[in-house]
Every structure is written in structure tokens, then in C-alpha cells.
Amino acid sequence: MLQNKKLPKFITQFTIDSFWVSLGFGINALSALIISILLTRILDAESMGVYFLAFSLIMIFSMASQLGLNTTVVRIISSATLEEKRSFLNKTIIKMLLVIASISALMMLFFMSDYVGLLLDLFSSMNLISSSMYIIGLLILIIAIRTFIAEVFRGFGDIKRASLYQRILPNILMLSMLFLIVASNYKTDLHIVLNILLLANFILCMIIFVPFKNKLNKLSGNDSLAIGTLLSSSSPIAASQICQLIFTQIPLWVLGATSLPEDIANYGVAFRLAALVSLPLLIANNVIMPHVAKQHATNNKHDLNALIQITVIITSLVSLLFLVVFAFFGDKVLALLFGEEYVIAYLILLVIGCGQAVNVFSGSPAVILAMAGKETYVLYSNLFASIIVLVASVIIIPIYGAVGAAVVTAIGLIVVNIFLSYYSYKIIGYKTYISVASIKSAKYRLLG
């Protein structure tokens, strides 16, 4: 049972954090949806398909360039703050930022070089933005830096700023610029859209630099963790994140190599909409991450178990509501938001939605393992899922197209959560998935 003296403070802090993260993900989800809606109105299906490929490319390389340091920094700061050993944080954070900036800058140079032509040869539809590859390179650099800075604030428990910088402001800026373009009836193509995305992220990086610098200036001390130590800690996370991106993005890229851009657009639209099913879990994971690190550091299993159980029950209920709406009204939602030509994506939406629901019902095993220092098991889970998804993609997608890509996506989500849930219970003794026992236990903890 939760310790009575800690319950009011715990619930209060969790509620405040939940508000800001919920606001961040809510605005992010809504604005991302509106952006997709606007883009389907100003771009044809072929351009939309290429946009989804380009956006996927940016996410993959910006995540890879962070080498897992974006997650490692949360754990390091949370643990150091709890133990009141903060003298090494200033220079350690700067080291981590310089590593990320260097790696992402190398990736940016690749996209500005002639070698990027090899990528364009594999995906002929990408030739539509061959003159915009330098924009993709710049976006990789800027988004990698912005994401890391946001995670620094999350590590310090400043969920408000982390949500603003990571979720709220990027899409609001992008959305505002798109509205101006649409309102002015300015003729827009995919190149202009990518420039708008670049400008929005550049402006945001300038905005967040000042508070980030002020935060570092408050940290005194000349000690720092060695780069080798940081990378040895973050490398399993990096490999895991890359594998996770692979198994979530492989279906899109195999579809891009074997199908028409219009099929990519249908899959992309359905994937964006189905993401609402997993939105509750994304919110919860970002709220509980620093709390899990602190509770684990103090070996407070009672509070941590309560946090896990209450979280999975609440997120599962909200997720199930989204899935029911899509099951009964998905075709109408697609027609209303994106136009009649996207109603064909209904089955794709439903299949991916089911996979996302399983993801939510499994709880937060990846967060529990990562914050407990067991990142290797997250890597194993994502690696197994990546192999299965890769094989399934090659076999299924060329035959069944976008629907096949949706099936493979759902398979990947189910497989990775089976492994993660198993390791979470087997290695550190936490059952993260929803069950009758967890519902009864959570009820007992809340009501006494």
C-alpha cells in the first residue's frame, strides 16, 4: 500500500506533471492532425506520400544522432538531483550536447553530399524532393539538439518546459505558418512545406537557448562524467531506439519501394490518426520517467508498483475509447478530416489501431527497464521485433500493399511488447501490463 504520508504530495506532483504533459501531447496530437489535414488540402496524394517518407527520414536520423543520450540525461540528472551530487552536471550536459551536435552535423553533411543520390535511386518517388535534401539535413541537426534540450528540462523535473519545447511549440509554429500560407492563397509545393518546417524548428531553437543557458549557469562545479562512460551507458539505449525506429518505419519504407506514392499517403494518414490510440501511453511515459528513476534509486517498490498499475489502467481505458470510435466511425472520420479519397484507408486505420491498443495495454515496460539501468533488455526486445518486422515486410507488403504494411506494423507492436513485458517481470519483478489482478490492486491502493 502507498505510504500515507507520501500519497498527497505524490498525487499532487503527478497531477501537475500530468497536466503539462497531457497538454503537450494533446496540442501536439491535435496540431499534427490539423497539419496533416491542411497538407492533404494543399498537396496531392503523391506529394503527401513523399512528405511522409521525408518526415520519417528526419525522425530516424535525428534520433540516431542522439546516441541514446536523450534518455540517459534524464536518468543522470534525476539521480544526481536526488542524491544532491550535482557538481558534475554542467560539463556533463555540455559534453553530451556537443556529441549530439557533432554526430547530427555529420549526418547533415551526408544529405548535402552527392552520396545522397544512392538513397534517391532506391526510392524513385523521393526524386520529387531531390533539390530539398539539404533541408532534411538541417532539420536532422536542429531537431536532435532541440529534443536533447527538452529532455534536460525533463530530467530536472521541469515537465512544463519539456512539454513546451518538445511537443507544444514546434507544431504550433508550423501550424501558424501553414495557416498564413493557406489564408494568403499562396501556391505551395512540397519544397515550401519543408522550408516552413525548417523555419519553425530554427525559431524554436533560438527561443529555448536562453533558458537552457540559464539552467546550466546555475550548476556549479568542474567535474564531469567521461564521454566513454556516457556512451557505454547510452549505447544500449541508442541501439534500442534505432531498432524501435526500424520496426516502426520499415513498413513505410518497404511500401515506398514497392508501391505508389498514393498508397504511402493512405498508410501515412491512417498511421497519424491511429497514433491517437497510443497517445495516453505516450503522455504517461513522459510523466512517469523521472518518477520511476527516483523511486527505483530509493528502492521504493511500493510507490513504484502503484504508479505502474494506476498508469496502465487509466491509459488503457482512454485508449480503448479511441479504438471503439475508429472501429465504428473510422471511415466517416477519415472522410471528414482528409477527404473522401482517404476513406480507403479505413482498414489500415483499424489494423494499426489494434496494434497500438496492445501497446497501451502492455503498460510501460520499456520505461521501467531503461530507468532501472536494464537498457540491454529493451535492446533485445526491439532487435527481435525488428528482425520479425523486416522479414514480414519483405514477404507481406509487396503482395498486400498498404494493408500489408498495417498488418506488419501491428505485428511489430505486439511482438516487442511481449518481450518487454516478459523482461520487466523476469528481470526486475514488475508486471506492467493490465490484468484483473492489477485492477484490483490499483483499486485497493487508491481507496485503501
**What is the pLDDT averaged over residues 72-82?**
74
Choose between 47 and 87: higher pLDDT: 47
Is there a contact between 370 and 424 (Cβ–Cβ < 8 Å)?
Answer: no
The residue ranking higher by pLDDT, 130 or 215, is 215
Mean local confidence (pLDDT), 192-202: 89
113 vs 347: which has the higher pLDDT: 347
Separation of CA 289 from chain center: 14
* Torsional sign, CA 268, 270, 276, 278: negative
Q: pLDDT: is 111 or 140 the higher one?
A: 140
Cβ–Cβ under 8 Å, residues 386 and 253: no
417 closest CA partner among 371, 368, 360, 348: 360
Q: Is the pLDDT of residue 61 over 60?
A: yes
Domain-wise residue ranges, the chain: 7-447
Whole-number mean pLDDT of the chain?
81
Q: Which residue in 293, 226, 233 sits closest to 92, CA to CA?
A: 226
> Among residues of the chain, what percentage have pLDDT more than 90?
21
Task: Please say if the pLDDT value at position 3 is more than 60.
Answer: no
Of 102, 101, 178, give the one whose Cα is nearest residue 142.
101
Task: Read off the pLDDT band of 41 (50, 70, 90).
Answer: confident
Q: 429 CB contacts (<8 Å, ≥6 apart)?
A: none
Given this model, what pLDDT does residue 57 score? Answer: 85
Predicted TM-score of the model (pTM): 0.74
Which comes out higher in pLDDT, residue 32 or 421? 421
Can you give the pLDDT at residue 259?
83
Work out the pLDDT band at 440, boundaries 50, 70, 90: low
List the Cα angle 242/410/331 in 5-degree steps.
125
CA 244 to CA 236: how far, in whole Å? 12
- What is the pLDDT, as a whole number, of residue 1? 39
For every residue of the chain, which 3-state class applies, written as one string?
Answer: CCCCCCHHHHHHHHHHHHHHHHHHHHHHHHHHHHHHHHHHHHCCHHHHHHHHHHHHHHHHHHHHCCCCHHHHHHHHHHHHHHHCCCCCHHHHHHHHHHHHHHHHHHHHHHHCCHHHHHHHHHCHHHHHHHHHHHHHHHHHHHHHHHHHHHHHHHHCCCHHHHHHHHHHHHHHHHHHHHHHHHHCCCCCCHHHHHHHHHHHHHHHHHHHHHHHHHHHHCCCCCCCCCHHHHHHHHHHHHHHHHHHHHHHHHHHHHHHHHCCHHHHHHHHHHHHHHHHHHHHHHHHHHHHHHHHHHHHHCCCHHHHHHHHHHHHHHHHHHHHHHHHHHHHHHHHHHHHHHCHHHHHHHHHHHHHHHHHHHHHHCCCHHHHHHHCCCHHHHHHHHHHHHHHHHHHHHHHHHHHHHHHHHHHHHHHHHHHHHHHHHHHHHHHCCCCCCCHHHHHHHHHHHHC
Reading phi first (left if > 0) and then psi (alpha if -120 to 50, else beta), residue 401 is in left
Q: Is the pLDDT of residue 423 over 50?
A: yes
Res. 346 pLDDT band, cuts 50 70 90 = very high
Q: Which of 146, 273, 256, 153 is nearest to 201 (CA)?
A: 146
pLDDT of residue 6: 44
- Highest-confidence range of 252-266, 320-334, 419-433, by mean pLDDT? 320-334
Which of 369, 371, 386 shows the shortest CA–CA distance to 420? Answer: 369
- Percentage of residues of the chain with pLDDT beyond 70: 82
Q: Which of 138, 139, 133, 135 is nearest to 116 (CA)?
A: 133
The answer on pLDDT for 295 being more than 60 is yes
CB 377 within 8 A of CB 365: no
pLDDT at 126: 64
For residue 322, pLDDT beyond 90 = yes
pLDDT at 7: 42
For residues 14 and 291, the answer to whether their CB atoms sit within 8 Å is yes
pLDDT tens figures, 113-136: 877 766 666 666 666 667 778 888
Residue 437 pLDDT class (50, 70, 90 cuts): low
Binning pLDDT at 50, 70 and 90, where does residue 84 land?
low
* pLDDT tens digit sequence for 230-286: 777 777 777 777 777 777 888 988 888 888 888 888 998 899 899 889 888 887 877
Which tens digits make up the pLDDT trace of 357-403? 999 998 888 888 877 777 778 888 888 888 999 999 999 999 999 99
Higher pLDDT, 9 or 87: 87
Average pLDDT over residues 328-343: 90
pLDDT beyond 80 at 81: no
Confidence of residue 348 (pLDDT cuts 50, 70, 90): very high
